[in-house]
Amino acid sequence: MGSTRAAEPFQPEGVVWTAVSPRLASARRLSGCVPLLVLALGAAVPALVVPWAPLWILAALFAALAGWVFWLAPRQAAAWGYAERADDLLIRSGILVRRVVVVPYGRMQFVDVEAGPVDRMFGIAQVQLHTASPGTDAAIPGLAPDEAARLRDRLASRGQAQLAGL
Amino acid sequence: VTPAGDPADGQWQRVHPLTPAVKSWQALVVVLFLLAQDVGQGALRGDVPGGDGLPLDGLGVGVIAGGGVLLVIGLALAVGFAVLSWRMTRYRLTDEALELHHGVLSRKQRAARLDRLQAVDVVQPLVARIFGLARLNLEVAGAGDSKITLAYLGHDRATSLRAHLLARAAGVTYETAEAPQAPEHAVFELPLRRLLGSLLLSGPAAFAALLVTALVVGLAASVATGEALGGFAAAGLPGVLAVGGMLWGRFTKGFGFRVSTGPDGIRLRHGLLEQRSQTVPPGRVQAVRLRQPLLWRPVDWWQVQVNVAGYGGAGDAGGESETTLLPVADRREALTVLGMVVPDLGVSPPEQPFAVIEAALSGAGGAAGFVTSPPAARRLDPISWRHNGYRATEQVLLIRRGRLSRELDVVPHARTQSLGVRQGPWQRRLGLASFAVHSTTGPVTPVVPHLASSEAARLLDEQAARSRAARLAAGPERWMDHAATGQGTLEQPPVGPVTAASVPGAAPPAAAS
């Protein structure tokens, strides 16, 4: 409490966060809103035929959820960030529940790069780091493919240089 | 393939010829049972003249005979497959690795590097014990199912192979055909009375007692009022049975629990029906948890659990029994065993290690350098906010949690995988955050809940630096190599000028692949 050196765990001193691509927001909007809108339509169409109030409420609920995802996606995308330090990689994420993870390069077991169909449409990819711990939740979504490849190679080479046993 | 040579001459070996019988015993029992039932029923029907059963002649005999033939065919198939599977299974031990080839339809080969060995278990299920056989499990660190299982070997052969594996993994060189058995001395033996006591003082037992009381009261009420409450009793009975089964499982696993120690690590032996003998070499324990449930507080008993890479992975049935170092022990015994798996708590001389560990087990507030949740955390955790906290020594991170039931997690800095800080919306409002150390798969998940967020930030920063320094100074994978160079990890290793390259064996050859 008295410490001024790093008063905020999500903004450590001397760390410059690299933001992920804003295209992540578009991808999340598409993959989040479209299924919800389809569900809303699925409830609204029969409601036109059979005038039954609960169906309208259901449709409105799905539409509201879609709107919420639409509103949330860019904010979530802006909350993602990563920073390469000399010995470890920092990843932060989340708005409501905020997280920061520190993964030492020497602890990295392997790196995954993944791009689903929607991700590919928007030209982004996800890099995920794995350690020997299942608790390490270190994924960076929304990277441009060349940045993802650069990060992967960089992490792999740093991991090898600093390799330690378990 | 040599049937019974030296287990470590680098030749391909077969598992024990009785393996098919032991592996297919369940099928055998089922078939025999069905057969007996079939014949018995048939005999019964035949014995009752003029009964309403099928007459023994004609259709009845046909059905019985047909069923019998099918059963015999099924049995023959099962046994045939087991024999074929035995024929296709072979293993060999080289200087570098243990290799296993197995599988009938799809052939599988697996080789495990010995310098990556995490633990060796010799397991004897009841049926295997009757035949004097045992299963040998070699754990290497890997995600999911990463063990090599040799089933079944003669018990003597399994223990001899274990000695070979441990000696080679340790980097001990020997010329004899038989690997030197490491000397060991007993540390702990669980008295039967305490095991029973610990089961009586457990949550499931308390639940069962409540349930039985409710049943008795219900039945008495039904007798008194004359109303039928049979349904009530029927609803409660399955619960009692389930709890009973749970307690029985714990009893058989904890029965005869013994711990001993030697240069090749810690040995655990336990089990009533299935006997398990585990060896965990030094430095393979990733994290330790000492637990004291509420009901154990008057007698001051503790349970000790560990994370060992490879133990308790996906699809491991024996997860809980593998990772329990002590099912129930008094404080002194628990601390002795903690000292064996974490030899150096990193408490410097002016401070007493005893005082620190006492504070860690049953202290509160800031005694012995503990950092606890600030008063703001009272709103989120009114009971134990003054008890939840951490203390970082030079070698380990001590995390204390709980006021009613107590927990202490010990994570050596050199074994930290990654770190995390998490802040939910309520925590954010109160200026709090939770700090987590990520360890390998297992029962120990070290978390410090509700620290002041500035404190969480400081800990994140400092812990990253501490674990980096400890990693660079960490010993080699082959623990006897290390002992030979005379730089014991029991002493404070030099931090700073030591680099990974200057520590022998710090970069094992596996790094190249």
Ranking B325-334, B444-453, B487-496 by mean pLDDT, the lowest is B487-496
Strands of B170-255 (E only): list them.
185-189
Asked if the model's pLDDT at residue B116 lies above 90, the reply is: no
Check whether B387 has a pLDDT greater than 50: yes
Q: Does the pLDDT value for residue B122 go beyond 90?
A: yes
Average pLDDT of the segment spanning B284-303:
94
Interface of B with A in 355-414 (CB under 8 A): 374
Q: Which residues of A touch B511 (CB under 8 A)?
A: 160, 163
Contact present, B280 and B308 (Cβ < 8 Å): yes
Q: From the candidates A1, A102, A136, which should be mutated to test the interface with B, based on the most B CB atoms within 10 A?
A: A102
* Closest Cβ opposite residue A102 in set B418, B439, B476: B418
Whether the complex's predicted ipTM surpasses the cut of 0.90:
no
What pLDDT, on the 0 to 100 scale, is given for residue B3?
45
Contact B422/A98, CB-based, under 8 Å?
yes
Residue ranges of chain A whose CB lies within 8 Å of a chain B CB = 1-3, 5-10, 12, 87-88, 96-104, 106-107, 130-138, 160, 162-166
Q: What is the mean pLDDT of residues B413-420?
A: 92
C-beta atoms surrounding B376 within 10 Å = 17
Residue B508 has pLDDT above 50, yes or no: no
- Quick one: average pLDDT of B223-250? 77
Mean pLDDT of the region B196-221? 86
Which of residues 171 through 210 in chain B touch A, CB cutoff 8 A? none
Quick one: average pLDDT of B460-464?
Answer: 93
pLDDT at B350: 80
Percent of chain A scored above 90 by pLDDT?
A: 57
Residue B211 has pLDDT above 90, yes or no: no
Say if residues B341 and B285 touch (Cβ distance below 8 Å). Answer: yes
What is residue B55's predicted lDDT score, i.e. its pLDDT?
52
Mean pLDDT computed over B416-420 = 93
Q: What is the pLDDT of residue B21?
A: 85
Query: Which residues on A lie below 8 Å from B474 (Cβ)?
Result: 164-165
d(CA B47, CA B63): 17
Residues B418, A104: C-beta atoms closer than 8 Å: yes
Q: B226: alpha, beta or left, given left = phi > 0 and alpha = psi -120 to 50?
A: left
Question: Is residue B51 over pLDDT 50?
Answer: no
Poorest-pLDDT segment among B201-205, B379-383, B431-435: B201-205
pLDDT digits over A54-94, tens only?
888 999 999 999 999 999 999 999 999 999 998 899 999 99
Min Cα–Cα distance to chain B from A73, Å: 18
- Categorize the per-residue pLDDT at B240 as very low, low, confident or very high, splitting at 50, 70 and 90: confident
Tell me the chain A residues in contact with residue B506 when contact means C-beta distances shorter than 8 Å: 164-165
DSSP at B182? P
Least confident of A87-91, B151-155, B504-508: B504-508
pLDDT at B41 over 80: no
Does B455 contact A at CB distance below 8 Å?
A: yes
Please give the Cα distance from B95 to B93 (Å, whole number). Answer: 7
Q: What is residue B502's predicted lDDT score, i.e. its pLDDT?
A: 33
CB pairs under 8 A between A and B: 128
A-interface mutation test, from B307, B311, B438, B459, most A Cβ less than 10 A away:
B438
For the cut 80, the answer to whether the pLDDT of residue B176 exceeds it is no
Neighbours of B217 (CB within 10 A): 10
Residue B503, pLDDT score: 33
The mean pLDDT value for B459-470 works out to 92
A137 contacts in chain B (CB < 8 Å): 420
Integer Cα distance of B376 and A16 in angstroms: 30
Residue B51: other Cβ atoms inside 10 A:
11
- Closest to B393 (Cα-Cα) out of B363, B353, B361: B353
The two structure tokens encoding residue A22? 């804003």
Residue B492 has pLDDT above 50, yes or no: no
Q: Which residues of B touch A9 (CB under 8 A)?
A: 421, 423, 433, 453-454, 456-457, 460
Long-range contacts for B446-449 (Cβ within 8 Å, ≥24 apart)? B446/B287, B446/B397, B446/B399, B446/B409, B446/B411, B447/B399, B447/B401, B448/B388, B448/B389, B448/B390, B448/B399, B448/B401, B449/B373, B449/B377, B449/B381, B449/B388, B449/B401
Closest-CA distance of chain A to residue B150, Å: 25
- The SS3 assignment for B492 reads coil
Please, is B297 exposed, middle or buried when counting C-beta atoms within 10 Å of its C-beta (0-12, 13-18, 19+)?
A: middle
On whether any CB of chain A is under 8 Å from the CB of B506, the answer is: yes
Residue B314 predicted with pLDDT over 50: no
Tens digit of each residue's pLDDT (9 = 90 or more) over A112-158? 999 999 999 999 999 999 888 888 889 999 999 999 999 998 888 88
Contact A81, A92 (CB under 8 A): yes
What is the rounded CA–CA span in Å between residue B14 and residue B90?
5
